[in-house]
């Protein structure tokens, strides 16, 4: 679902991920898996940051988007012109600041921790 070669809008990808997350939590949510859910959510957030970073493609686009999301000029230039790989940069604190968990939530990504907590309390 999170393949870097995958076509389509980001909203469609997030909607499909949300469907899988909800189904998975409902199926496996009866067990105690809090640590596993937390690790999986962190991995998913990083993977989506990687996907977004790759889709921005050009240095100019990366710079504009980073500035739009509140990153300083110097940091935006450094990060936009970096030659490091997508996965490595997805762990960078500047990208975490620009594409925060709250911003991913605004874009429609459901938080697995919250869904699990709700399911665990019901069960």
Residue 72 CA to residue 51 CA, distance in Å, equals 22
57: left (phi over 0), alpha (psi -120 to 50) or beta: left
Predicted local distance difference test score (pLDDT) of residue 29: 73
Predicted local distance difference test score (pLDDT) of residue 58: 97
Tokens encoding 46: 């990083």
Dump pLDDT digits (tens) for 75-114.
999 999 999 999 999 999 999 999 999 999 999 999 998 9
Residue 42 CA to residue 56 CA, distance in Å, equals 21
Dump pLDDT digits (tens) for 9-62.
999 999 999 999 999 888 877 777 888 899 999 999 999 999 999 999 999 999
Q: Which residue has the tokens 């710079």?
A: 63
pLDDT of 123 higher than 70: no
Write the DSSP string, 41-86.
HHHHHHHHHHHHHHHH-SHHHHHHHHHHTT--HHHHHHHHT--S-H
Q: Interhelix angle for 112-122 vs 10-28, to 10°?
A: 30
């Amino acid at each position: 679902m999170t393949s870097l070669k995958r076509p389509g809008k980001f909203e469609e990808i997030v909607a499909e991920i949300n469907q899988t997350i909800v189904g998975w939590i409902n199926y496996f949510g009866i067990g105690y898996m809090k640590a596993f859910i937390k690790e999986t959510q962190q991995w998913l957030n990083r993977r989506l940051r990687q996907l977004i970073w790759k889709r921005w493609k050009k240095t100019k686009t990366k710079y504009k988007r980073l500035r739009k999301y509140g990153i300083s000029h110097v940091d935006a230039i450094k990060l936009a012109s970096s030659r490091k790989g997508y996965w490595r940069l997805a762990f960078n604190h500047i990208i975490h600041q620009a594409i925060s968990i709250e911003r991913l939530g605004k874009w429609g990504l459901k938080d697995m921790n919250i869904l699990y907590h709700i399911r665990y309390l019901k069960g």
